Structure 1
Amino acid sequence: LYKQYAEQLVAAGQAYYAFDTPQELEAKRAAMPNFQYNQQSRQSMRNSLTLDAATVAQLISEGHPHVVRIKMPEQETITFTDMIRGEVSFDTTQVDDKVLLKADGMPTYHLAVVVDDHLMQISHAFRGEEWLPSAPVHILLWKYLFGLDQMPQWAHLPLILKPDGNGKLSKRDGDRLGFPVFAMDWTDPKTNTTTIGFRERGFLPQAFVNVLAMLGWNDGTDKEIFTIEELIAAFSMERVHKGGAKFDFEKAKWFNQEWIKQTDATTLLPEVKKVLGDSAANADEPFIAQVINLVKDRCVLLNDFAQQAGYFFTDPTTIDIAAIKPKWDDKKTLFFTELIRTYETEQFWQAADLEKAFKEIAAVNELKPGELMLPFRIMLVGGKFGPGVFDIAAMIGKDATIARIKHTLSLLQ
């Protein structure tokens, strides 16, 4: 398919065969550090411009490896209008003769993208700004093969940059700085090494789209959270930035947290169940939804639900005793012992009733409730996190609440 277009270009004098071996090219680069295969150098190379027709025919018939290169015109200015950058011009003397067809018969991107876009009737092409220097080659191919009136409109998008702004963001940067760069897990076919993706890290698809949309674009206001429908309605090419955007993983996590906050529990439930795994396998979905509503404001990533919600379904595996001991004394032991007796007889297991009983016992024992809340929280969840402690107790139930208090008291003895 692609070879016929390459041959068409050669026949028209717009491309040529090049028989230079890799060794010959390496020698040229060694002798000339800034060597380019262009209008000046091609006259001293082994190609169909310097060899006679009989020699070219013989080399091809004998199967000598060769490539097809575009023949860039001399001293011409090529201009096109980019949807983002406006009018862009190139001096053809600054552009080398790119390979269009490799020695194995496979096309390079330069030829393939033009032929493919033509055959697929592409009307608009969006690509990264690193392809802007190749635009004059592609424009000439459109002109030679299909006509400029058939060429799609182009937009060369700004790149996503490293967090420090120095260069294009790469997989290596993600590995080095500890954040994903792929939408989903990607396994390198050569090394079989898997790189974690945004989805597996715990990003909602809506948040990921939102993050990408705001890298290099805004709607002219301070609004940052957009649904896909809102993005479609607000988007315009005129507001796409020309310069690259620094990637900020902390900001990306902020987007995800905001999306978790505003997403209803029913929508979050399937993903949260995956995170909780077997611990919530036997729990009713309405109960899981209640838990989600109680803790979602504390979750930055979906995977945070494992810590922030796991204790509603199973006893915490560890208790942060070290956070309790410095201010622990006999009076607090007596308080929680009395709290157990009171809770064992509590008929109305509601957060408000549990809080009232808690504070009454504290007052009788001349203790400040604030000094008791942290130990109580750690007893129930294992650490210094979670929603309102009485909401937790009400949700996990009487038996679990009392058992967890007793367990922690035994660890403090």
Structure 2
Amino acid sequence: MTVRTRFAPSPTGYLHIGGARTALFSYLYARRHGGDFVLRVEDTDLERSTPESVNAILEGMTWLNLDYDEGPFYQTQRMDRYREVIDQLMATGHAYYCYASRAELDALREAQMARGEKPRYDRRYRDFTGTPPEGVAPVIRFRNPLDGEVVVEDAVRGRVVFQNSELDDLIIARSDGTPTYNLTVVVDDWDMQITHVIRGDDHLNNTPRQINLYRALGVTPPQFAHLPMIHGPDGAKLSKRHGAVGVMQYREDGYLPDALLNYLVRLGWSHGDDEIFDRPTMVQLFDIGDINQSASSINPEKLRWLNQQYIKNLPPEQVAVELRWHLGRIGIDPAASSLDPARLVTAYADRVHTLVELAAQARPYYEPLTGYDPGALAKLDDDAPKILDALAEALSDDAAWASEAALDQTAKGVAEALGFKLGKVGPLLRLALVGQSSSPSLGVTLSLLGQAQAVDRVRALKTHLVHP
């Protein structure tokens, strides 16, 4: 049997973090077993589904590099197939017309609640043989079994038993003829030969209804695995108040896709005490049986830590692809400069946690300085102009630029010649070069700027101090 999993989002908004984790787990399970990963867009909710949301989902999947083998399939393009299956269920007596009006159902609900009963449809038209009431466009309901039980052997939660007597006759076609979720998902998973359905546990209550539909159609249901929810750091349901919940917001906040995937895989899954998993390792180790049954809580600091590990350890050229995107967002075109962003990744990897931070640090290397850190300026004394003159002279010598080590030695030489410690010269030089007293090593910072620009900036700070 070929393992086939699917990710089936509804395009009613962005690709949220819970959906991305579901997609990742489905992707990893298929890849580990040499199977197929299918993308299906469940867009039958015409009032809420939008092309913009479809694009947001596809954009998120592309950014995360969760490549699918088939799809995207769109439910709105499969309406004829759904009608065919509905007709089949009607013909075999597994479905029936229900003529209950909205007012009738509202009255039923109110009466049941007044009696302290669980509100649900009472099957009043299940065996109806009379004349249909006028002016009511009927829905079509599934004739759920009245007795027996449905056993869900869930790969995460274990054995879950539902009594058929607790399940109502769900609507499978609305009064306008459009199919409902529980019908379309069964038909799609059947037609697409899905073997494993991995989804959030908010769908668990739908599962016995769907299994009964499979049985009515004479189809073996897939294996189900229901993932626990993701909570905020405070244990409450994840929401916007906890920060980013949409995948692309994480990109905007400066996270790498590999870091986010590593973070997501650890939300509910573990392998010993390991924290860092590259994609091949995830594929090799991932197993549904290792998913925790309890809900997971996001930890923003853990994600920041992971992101820095990936900035430090991924090939700089790979990180630079994302850095270029962030530079563009702050109005910098790195293609207009000879400075490769990959060099900045190497220089700043130990100093930043996100690419937003790195892009901000990169600005002085691509744009003219617009000012100096006031706090650093306030610490300067009357020796600063003399030191800057000596630095400008020393850095004008081409021999100083033989290597980054040579540049470091040049700065040390200036300090020694003037009788100062490097701790007095270094921060001043950094202030001249990047507008603040902190940066990578002097040799690296100078090398990133180049001789002409470095000397000009040293002289510019001297002028600023003498003629503010």
- Aligned partner of 1:138 in structure 2 is 210
1:74 aligns with 2:155: no
| Alpha carbons of structure 1 residues 357 and 229: separation in structure 2 relative to 1, 3 Å | closer
Aligned pairs (5 A) from 1:207-246 = 207-219=259-271, 221-246=272-297
The residue that corresponds to 1:269 in the other structure is 320
Q: Which aligned pairs between 1:313-352 and structure 2 lie closer than 5 A?
A: 313-325=366-378, 327-345=379-397, 347-349=399-401, 350-352=403-405
Q: How many positions carry a matched residue from both structures?
A: 379
Q: Compare CA radii of gyration and give the structure with the larger one.
A: 1
CA distance in 1, matches of 2:318, 2:227: 33
Q: 1:26 aligns with which of 88, 96, 106?
A: 106
- Give the match for residue 258 of structure 1: 309
Give, as a single letter, the amino acid of the residue that structure 2 aligns with 1:243. S
Task: State the secondary structure of the residue aligned to 1:64.
Answer: coil
Matched residue type, 1:155:
A
What RMSD over aligned residues (CA atoms) do the two structures have, in Å? Answer: 2.6
1:63, distance to aligned residue in structure 2 (A): 6.3
Could you tell me which amino acid in structure 1 is paired with residue 383 of structure 2? K
Q: Given the superposition, is the C-alpha separation of residues 108 and 377 from structure 1 closer, same or farther in structure 2, using an over 3 Å criterion?
A: same
Q: Which residue of 1 aligns with 2:119?
A: 36
Q: Is the 8 A contact 2:232 2:242 kept in 1?
A: no
Alignment counterpart, residue 205 of structure 1, candidates 242, 252, 257: 257
Alignment check: 8 A CA contact 1:131 1:156 kept: yes
Would the alpha carbon gap of residues 227 and 202 (structure 1) be closer, same or farther in structure 2, given more than 3 Å must change?
Answer: same
Q: Deviations over 1:275-309 (max 9, x none)?
A: 33444223347x44333322233332333332232
Partners in 2 of 1:26 and 1:370 — Cα distance?
79
CA distance 1:386–1:146, shift in 2 (3 Å):
farther
Answer yes or no: is 1:381 the counterpart of 2:468: no
TM-score by length of 1: 0.82
Q: Any idea what the Cα deviations from partners look like across 1:245-267, whole Å, max 9, x if unmatched?
A: 11223322322221121111232
Show the counterpart of 2:136.
64
SS in 2 for 1:348: helix
For the structure 1 residues 95 and 398, does the alpha-carbon distance in structure 2 shift closer, same or farther, using more than 3 Å as the test?
A: same
- The structure 2 residue matched to 1:162, chosen from 228, 232, 242, is 232
Q: Is residue 2:265 matched to residue 1:182?
A: no
Structure 1 match to 2:131 = 55
C-alpha contact 2:268 2:291 (8 A) present in aligned 1:
yes
Q: 1:48 to 1:29 in 2, by over 3 A?
A: closer
Distance 1:364 1:266, change over 3 A: closer
Deviation of 1:146 after TM superposition, in Å, equals 1.8
- Of 270, 278, 282, the residue aligned with 2:336 is 282
CA distance in 1: counterparts of 2:459 and 2:201, whole angstroms: 64
Distance (whole Å) between structure 2 residues aligned to residue 304 and residue 23 of structure 1: 58
- How far did residue 79 of structure 1 move? 0.9
Change in Cα spacing, 1:384 to 1:328, as seen in structure 2 (3 Å) is closer
Instruction: State the match for 1:5 in structure 2.
Output: 85
Q: Structure 1, residues 46-80: CA drift from partner, whole Å, max 9, x if none?
A: x243x4x2313xx4xx6621212233333422213
**1:89 positional shift:** 0.6
Select 1:91's aligned residue among 158, 163, 173: 163
List per-residue Cα deviations over 1:173-211 (Å, max 9, x = no partner). 23x2332x2333xxxxxxxxxxxx333433322222222
Partner of 2:406: 353
Cα separation, partners in 2 of 1:74 and 1:288, compared to 1, 3 Å: closer
Q: Give, in whole Å, the separation in 2 of the partners of 1:344 and 1:21.
A: 88
Structure of higher RCO (CA pairs closer than 8 Å, 6+ residues apart): 2
Secondary structure of 2:307's counterpart equals: helix
* 1:189 alignment partner in structure 2: none
- Which residue, out of 126, 134, 144, partners 2:198? 126
Distance 1:112 1:63, change over 3 A: farther
| Preserved CA contact (<8 Å) 2:230 2:267 | yes
Secondary structure (helix, strand or coil) at the match of 1:211 reads helix
Q: Give the secondary-structure state (helix, strand or coil) at the position aligned to 1:347.
A: helix
Question: Structure 2 counterpart of 1:235, which letter?
Answer: F
Q: Residue 159 of structure 2: SS of its match in structure 1?
A: strand
User: What amino acid is the match of 1:125?
Assistant: V
Distance verdict in 2 for CA 1:345–1:111, change over 3 Å: closer
Q: Percent identity?
A: 32
Residues 292, 309 of structure 1: 8 Å contact kept: no
In structure 2, what residue type is equivalent to 1:207?
A
Say if 1:202 and 1:302, in contact at 8 Å, map to a contact too. Answer: yes
Cα 1:340–1:348 shift into 2, 3 Å: closer
Where 1:42 maps in the other structure, the secondary structure is coil
Alpha carbons 1:36, 1:96 under 8 Å: kept: no
CA distance in 2, matches of 1:139, 1:384: 66
- Give ranges in structure 2 of 5+ residues lacking alignment: 1-80
- Distance between the aligned counterparts of 2:360 and 2:376, measured in 1? 18
Residues 298 and 308 in structure 1, CA contact (< 8 A), matched pair in contact too = no
1 CA distance for matches of 2:88 and 2:336?
A: 68
| 2:98/2:141 contact within 8 Å kept | yes
| Partner Cα separation in structure 2 for residue 384 and residue 365 of structure 1 | 20
User: 1:26 Cα shift?
Assistant: 2.8
User: Does the Cα contact within 8 Å between 1:374 and 1:384 map onto a contact in 2?
Assistant: yes
Equivalents in 2 of 1:5, 1:342: separation in Å?
83
Q: CA deviation at 1:320?
A: 0.7
